[in-house]
Amino acid sequence: MILSWLIENVLWIGLLLLASSALSGRRALAGVGWILFGIHWLKQPAHYLAIGDQFNVVLTLVVALFSLRLGWLILFRGCRSRSCDWAGSAVAIGGFAYFPFAELAPLRGWLVGGTAELTLRLLNLFGVPASSGGGSVITLYGHSVEVVLACTAIESMALFAGVVLSVRAPPKRKVAALLASVPVIYGLNLFRNIFVVVAYGGEWFGFESFYLAHHVIAKVGSAVALFAIAYIVFLLLPELLDMIDGLASDIRRGGGEPA
């Protein structure tokens, strides 16, 4: 029973250990936390295989191997670099910003429902005769689009919050970087949702309107926007580049320099 509980809660235990390490400075806790975080991601490919999502199969395996590698470096190779410490703190902050919404239905429903309502209000504000189709569904000209967790941009916001808040830098620059990323991402995502609803409802691209609007144009636009936001964040916080470069060096060398 204890083993099954540990397996079921491996994600939360891993994040708690990473957070505890960041607060206490005990790197061994981070090592174990990374291992457990990696085990969580090793559990995910089966789900994506079942739904035929090959991209996420590869992505989750890469994240799992990365996490296990860092855990091994910390526990068995004595990685004591600031970059390793930063990575653990970033994952702890980002994880606690994202996974409660992903794993807990009430929080997920609140975020998804709020995003759907804001999207609908903006559509109506711009004179688009969209209406609620019930729940988080938005309907326009007989075509319905359901807002899901991925439509809230919570993953990207949590990622930027984690890497920004965990870096050692003057508070003013950290706040500036946070404001240049998290609220901007959410705002742009609302307009992304609006574009998908209008393009699909108006059949801008014919029979393939939803696919082209959502899976092609919106994804490319999101990638370009995130790249631009990341560039601004790096300008505000050049310390992030040092951390990323140091972490890459730790992984290549198989260990880090003492802090």
Summarised one tens digit per residue, pLDDT across range 76-111 is 887 788 898 999 999 999 999 999 999 999 999 999
d(CA 240, CA 219): 25
pTM, two decimal places: 0.89
Other CB atoms within a 10 A radius of the CB of residue 143 amount to 17
pLDDT score, position 255: 60
Helix ranges, the chain (H):
2-8, 10-24, 27-42, 45-50, 54-76, 82-103, 105-125, 154-166, 171-179, 182-201, 209-210, 218-236, 239-253
- Residue recorded with tokens 């620059």: 173
Cα–Cα nearest to 84, from 209, 237, 248: 248
pLDDT for res 108: 95
Q: In the chain, which residues have pLDDT < 50?
A: 256, 258-259
DSSP secondary structure letter of residue 167: S
What is the per-residue pLDDT for 258?
44
